[in-house]
Structure 1
Amino acid sequence: MFRAIIVDDEKPALDILKLLLEKTDQICVVGVFSSAADALAGVKDLKPDVAFLDIEMSYMSGLELARKFVDMGIGLEIVFVTAYDKYALEAFRVNAVDYILKPFSSDDIARVITRLKRVNPLPAVSQIPADKGRIYCFGTLSVYGAGDDKAVKWRTAKAKELFAFMLENLNSKVAKWKIAQVIWPECEMEKQFNTYLYTTVYKVKKTLLSANIKFDFTFIDGSYIMELPEVYLDTAEFEELTASDIELSEASVEKYKRALSLYKGNYLEDNEYFWSQNKSDEYLRRYRILVSEFAKYYITGKDYSNAEKVLLEALKKAPLDDELNERLLKLYYTKKDKASLISHYSKIKELYKSDLGITPNKVMQELLSDISEL
Structure 2
Amino acid sequence: MIRVIIVEDEQPTLDLMERLVGRHPLLEVAGTFTSPLEALEQYTLLKPDAVFLDVEMPKMGGLELANKLREIDEDIQIVFTTAYPDYAVDAFRVSAVDYLLKPVTSDDLERVVARLSKNYSLRSNLEAPVAVGEPSVRCLGTFETRKVDGSLISWPTRKTEELFAYLLAYPNRLAGKWQLADLLWTDMEEDRALHNVHNAIYRLKKALKEAGLPVDLTHSNEGYLLRVAPAFTDIERFRDFMKRTSAIDIRNATEAEKLFRSCRGELFGGKDYVWSSGLAAEVSAQKASLALMLASYYREIADMAAAKMTLRTYLADAPLDEEINAELLRLYAESGESGAFRNHYEQYAQRLEAELGVRPTESIRVLATGFSI
State the TM bucket, normalised to the shorter chain: 0.5 to 0.7
Say if 1:144 and 1:151, in contact at 8 Å, map to a contact too. yes
Q: Is the 8 A contact 1:132 1:147 kept in 2?
A: no
Larger Rg over CA atoms: 1
Identity within the alignment, %: 23
1:222 maps to a residue whose letter is E
Structure 2 equivalent of residue 173 of structure 1: 174
1:203-228 deviation digits (Å, cap 9, x = unpaired): 22232233222333332022112234
SS of the residue corresponding to residue 243 of structure 2 reads: coil
Q: What is the deviation of 1:133? A: 6.7
Question: 1:274-320, CA deviations, whole angstroms, 9 ceiling, x for partnerless residues?
Answer: 21222222222222122112222223433221011100111122211
Over aligned residue pairs, what C-alpha RMSD do you find? Answer: 2.5
| Long gaps (5+) in structure 2 | 1-130
SS in 1 for 2:218: strand
Structure 1, unaligned runs of 5 or more:
1-128
In 1, the alpha carbon distance for the partners of 2:134 and 2:322 equals 41
Between the aligned partners of 1:338 and 1:166, the Cα distance in structure 2 is 48
* TM-superposed deviation, 1:144: 0.7
Matched-pair contact (CA < 8 Å) for 1:246–1:290 = no
Whole-Å separation in 1 of the counterparts to 2:226 and 2:251: 37
The separation in 2 between residues aligned to 1:161 and 1:282, in whole angstroms, is: 19
DSSP 3-state at the match of 2:293: helix
Does the residue aligned with 1:154 lie in a helix, a strand or coil?
coil
1:161: how far off?
0.6
Distance change in 2, residues 1:131/1:359 (3 Å): closer
Task: Tell me the distance in 2 between the aligned counterparts of 1:162 and 1:227.
Answer: 14
Other-structure match for 1:139: 141
SS at match of 2:165: helix
The corresponding residue for 2:347 is: 347
Amino acid across the alignment from 2:178: W
SS at the partner of 1:320?
coil
Residue equivalent to 2:153: 152
- Per the alignment, residue 16 of structure 1 pairs with none
TM-score with structure 2 setting the length: 0.60
- 2:93 is matched with none
**Alignment correspondent of 2:279:** 279
- SS state at 2:370 partner: helix
1:264 aligned onto 2:267: no
2:10 aligns to what? Answer: none
1:298 corresponds to? 298
Match of 2:114 in 1: none
Partner of 1:186: 187
- Contact kept, 8 Å, 1:242 with 1:259, in 2: the verdict is no
- SS of 1:191's equivalent in the other structure is helix
Runs of 4+ in 1 over 4 A off after TM superposition: 129-133
1:77-226 paired onto structure 2 within 5 Å: 134-148=136-150, 150-187=151-188, 189-226=189-226
- Please, which moves more after superposition, 346-355 or 265-274? 265-274
TM-score normalised by L of structure 1: 0.60
State how far apart, in whole Å, the 1-side matches of 2:148 and 2:135 are.
4
Equivalents in 1 of 2:158, 2:322: separation in Å? 35
The question of whether the paired residues in 1 share the 8 Å contact of 2:164 and 2:204 is answered with yes
Aligned to 1:240: 240
AA partner of residue 239 (structure 2): E
1:339 counterpart letter in structure 2: G
Separation in 1, partners of 2:366, 2:308: 20
Q: 1:237 to 1:131 in 2, by over 3 A?
A: closer
CA distance in 1, matches of 2:356, 2:347: 14
Residues in 2 aligned to 1:131 and 1:291: alpha-carbon distance in whole angstroms: 23
**CA distance in 2: counterparts of 1:157 and 1:281, whole angstroms:** 23
Counterpart AA for 2:348: I
Q: Distance in 2 between matches of 1:269 and 1:359?
A: 30
CA 1:284 to 1:131, structure 2 compared with 1: closer, same or farther past 3 Å?
closer
- Cα deviation per residue 1:107-154 (whole Å; 9 max; x = unaligned)? xxxxxxxxxxxxxxxxxxxxxx97897011112221111121x42222
Deviation string for 1:208-259 (max 9, x for gaps)? 2332223333320221122346972112221222213422222332232233
Distance (whole Å) between structure 2 residues aligned to residue 132 and residue 254 of structure 1: 15
Q: 1:197, 1:236 → 2: CA distance?
A: 25
**CA, structure 1 residues 293+140, in 2 after alignment: closer, same or farther (shift >3 Å)?**
same
Tell me the amino acid that sits aligned with residue 138 of structure 2: Y
Which residue is equivalent to 2:288?
A: 288
Is the 1:267–1:280 contact (alpha carbons within 8 Å) kept by the matching residues of 2? yes
What is the CA distance between 1:330 and its match in structure 2? Answer: 1.2
Q: Give yes or no for contact 1:131–1:146 (8 Å, CA) kept in 2.
A: no
Q: 1:130 to 1:318 in 2, by over 3 A?
A: closer
Q: Is the 8 A contact 1:217 1:224 kept in 2?
A: yes
Q: Choose 299-308 or 251-260, whichever is displaced more.
A: 251-260
Q: Secondary structure at the match of 1:241?
A: helix
Aligned to 2:360: 360
Question: Which residue of structure 2 aligns with residue 369 of structure 1?
Answer: 369
For 2:306 and 2:329, locate their aligned partners in 1 and report how far apart those are by CA, in whole Å.
15
Q: Distance in 2 between matches of 1:319 and 1:340?
A: 16
What secondary structure does 1:218 align onto?
strand
Give the superposition deviation at 1:363. Answer: 2.2
